[in-house]
Structure 1
Amino acid sequence: MIGQREGASGAHFAFTDRWGGVSAAPYAELNLGGAVGDDPEAVRTNRELAAKSLGLDPGLVVWMNQVHGNDVAEVDGPWQGETVPRVDAVVTATRGVALAVLTADCVPVLLADPVAGVAAAAHAGRPGMIAGVVPAAVRAMVKLGADPARIVARTGPAVCGRCYEVPEAMRTEVADVEPAAYAETSWGTPAVDVAAGVHAQLERLGVRDREQSPVCTLESDDHFSYRRDRTTGRLAGYVWLG
């Protein structure tokens, strides 16, 4: 169910795979996305299963209405009886609150400064990466007392640069903003490496403690991939401070 979990000096990071849930095909099994056409009751059950497997209270997990932008919301707990805002990053200084990001090829970015007690989760697809959602999340953390030199960054399963084929004009557009994202597929055509772009942005911001998942979602049958399957579920990344 949980493909990777790590604790780092009070900061906790976890990424799911697609197994251990109750959703039927084509969302089988642990679909955590509520806006992809799956049965809402199955999604609720899956979110409860995932949270409990991490020792989290499902009612203290903050989700986003992701739109491939760069807006950040500061939270101190889940949304209470209100519409979930259209943002692609959330930041908190409240310990025990878990922040979640949904993906199915995009890069899930989890950030934490355990000393300051500040955490953030960001959804970095190609548009969000070039719009600067990750730098925006780091800036929001700094406003709450975080220091980039102390921030721990983890990026989860995502489509890799060897598989993310794009038109030449799109590669040029992306590379003009973030040269590190320039890539070529394993079969020799233009590509974009979003994770490489994200890590380059973090490096420039002074975030040194970084790790990148080796999993390519398009290549892995254990993970959801929109580019591979189109109608499919969503993975989740979670970050929280104990």
Structure 2
Amino acid sequence: MKVHAATLSELDGIRHAFFTRDGGVSGGIYASLNSGVGSGDDAAHVAENRARMARDLNVDPARLITAFQIHSPNVVVAERPWTVATRPRADAIVTRTPGLAIGVSTADCGPLLFADAAARVIGAAHAGWRGAFSGVIEGTIAAMEKLGADRSRMTVALGPLIRKQNYEVSQNFVDEFLRAERDHARFFSPAARDGHAMFDLPGFIAWRLQRSGIGRFEDIGLCTYADPDRFYSYRRSVHRKEPDYGRHVNAIVLTDEVPASSAGPSG
């Protein structure tokens, strides 16, 4: 039903999960743990799937929140739950509120979970190529620091996403990156088709993070496209000419219990 990052699992007072497609009630192309409120799946099935994920994180279903994602650098601070109808348009969420599970929805893009366990501040970012290119990673770090985090203490984990061997892009795509910075050439390699290249999205995300000065980074090394039994993939659905695709939730939550190391001096 889920996979974990070893580095985040080591942290006291934090739970997280990169949920797979297993363990839900949806059927057909959505089988089975589809969390996509914007998909064509039965809304009751999506609600039950999200409730199962919330229970796994030990929160009430209403306290597992995601944003209306628009492939942007926009970051919001969450202090309380919102509904599907009132969710903000953003691609990253940060919080210091215990018991509020913040998540991002993905189906090939890069899910990033952030934590400064000492400051009790967490974040979740949806880093597709547009978001990563336009600054969602740096924006998430800055928003966490405004809540008291320190980037040098941050642990950041990258969950399942499409990897270079399955991510073919056009020359126009490559040119856009090279116009921004010639050093971006390192993230492209020749494709079998003329006028195309293979793009290393996880490598690009890792580079942006490391350049930002975060403390620890872990890439769990899984590919959504290459593993249809465990993961949904937008690009795979297009290649198969399927009418829609499922979405994953990737979430992190501060536990209600403050670890002794984070509680501060006693009276």
TM-score w.r.t. the length of structure 1 is 0.93
Please give the secondary structure, in 1, of the residue aligned with 2:99: coil
RMSD, aligned CA? 1.9
Q: Unpaired runs of 5+ in structure 2?
A: 239-243, 256-267
Matches within 5 A, 1:125-136: 125-136=128-139
131-140 vs 54-63, greater mean Cα deviation: 54-63
Stretch moving more, 24-33 or 49-58: 49-58
Contact residue 57 and residue 253 of structure 2 kept, 8 A: no
Say whether 1:43 aligns with 2:46: yes
Aligned 8 A contact 1:162 1:184 in 2: no
Alpha carbons 1:102, 1:236 under 8 Å: kept: yes
Give the superposition deviation at 1:194: 1.8
1:202 aligned to which of 209, 216, 221:
209
- How many residue pairs get aligned? The number is 242
Change (3 A) 1:81 1:134: closer
Deviation at 1:98, TM superposition (A): 0.8
> Are residues 1:225 and 2:233 paired?
yes
**Aligned residue runs from structure 1 range 90-169, under 5 A:** 90-169=93-172
Q: CA offset at residue 175 of structure 1?
A: 4.4
Q: 1:176 to 1:209 in 2, by over 3 A?
A: farther
Q: Would you say the 8 A contact 1:162–1:183 is kept in 2?
A: no
- For the 8 Å contact 2:191–2:198, the answer to whether it is kept is no
Check whether the contact 1:105–1:227 (CA below 8 A) recurs between aligned residues: yes
Change in Cα spacing, 1:38 to 1:82, as seen in structure 2 (3 Å) is closer
What TM-score, normalized by structure 2, do the two folds share? 0.85
Larger radius of gyration: 2
Q: Please tell me whether residue 237 in structure 1 is matched to residue 258 in structure 2.
A: no
- Larger helix proportion of the pair: 2
* Aligned counterparts of 2:164 and 2:84: Cα–Cα separation in 1: 40
Query: Is 1:75 matched up with 2:78?
Result: yes
Higher mean C-alpha displacement, 205-214 vs 132-141: 205-214
